[in-house]
Structure 1
């Protein structure tokens, strides 16, 4: 598990906006996101903003999680996507 960044916005619609503390790459989309207690919060669904100042969008597993987030530092676990065998 690696440090992802700091939560800037906790949306009522079930999304987080994170200011990354790492270099942002497109292959982060789909990675799982956790809090410091290793509780799974959701997954990365998009990267927005300027290249020099991006933000990461995380869709929460449940909208109810938004009310329980106490720690603003989040971590991620990269999920490798399997290639389809296009035959």
Structure 2
């Protein structure tokens, strides 16, 4: 697991806004998000904000599952490789 960043805000709809500590952000979409106790709390659904100062949107698995810590971690989702070719 790698460090995702710090939680900046939470919404009533069950989303967290996180300021990422990593520079490679677009690869993180659909990755699982964990707290300090290695509990899965949700997944990354979007990247918002300016290019030089982006934010990551995390959808919580349940609205009552607010993280107890402000530091979050992620596990990179496996990228599916498309097979090339087909019937010729």
TM-score, with length taken from structure 1: 0.89
Q: CA deviation at 1:85?
A: 4.1
- 1:29 is matched with 29
For 2:24 and 2:82, locate their aligned partners in 1 and report how far apart those are by CA, in whole Å. Answer: 25
Q: CA deviation at 1:81?
A: 2.5
Q: CA deviation at 1:27?
A: 1.3
Pairs within 5 Å for 1:1-87: 1-66=1-66, 69-85=67-83, 87=86
For 2:4 and 2:57, locate their aligned partners in 1 and report how far apart those are by CA, in whole Å. Answer: 12
Aligned pair count? 85
Which consecutive residues of structure 1, in runs of 5 or more, have no partner in the other structure? Answer: none
User: Which one has a bigger Cα radius of gyration?
Assistant: 2
**Structure 1 or 2: larger helix share?**
1
Q: CA deviation at 1:80?
A: 1.2
For 1:11 and 1:64, locate their aligned partners in 2 and report how far apart those are by CA, in whole Å. Answer: 11
Counterpart secondary structure, 2:24: coil
Counterpart secondary structure, 2:77: coil
For 2:42 and 2:51, locate their aligned partners in 1 and report how far apart those are by CA, in whole Å. Answer: 24
TM-score, with length taken from structure 2: 0.88
Which consecutive residues of structure 2, in runs of 5 or more, have no partner in the other structure? Answer: none
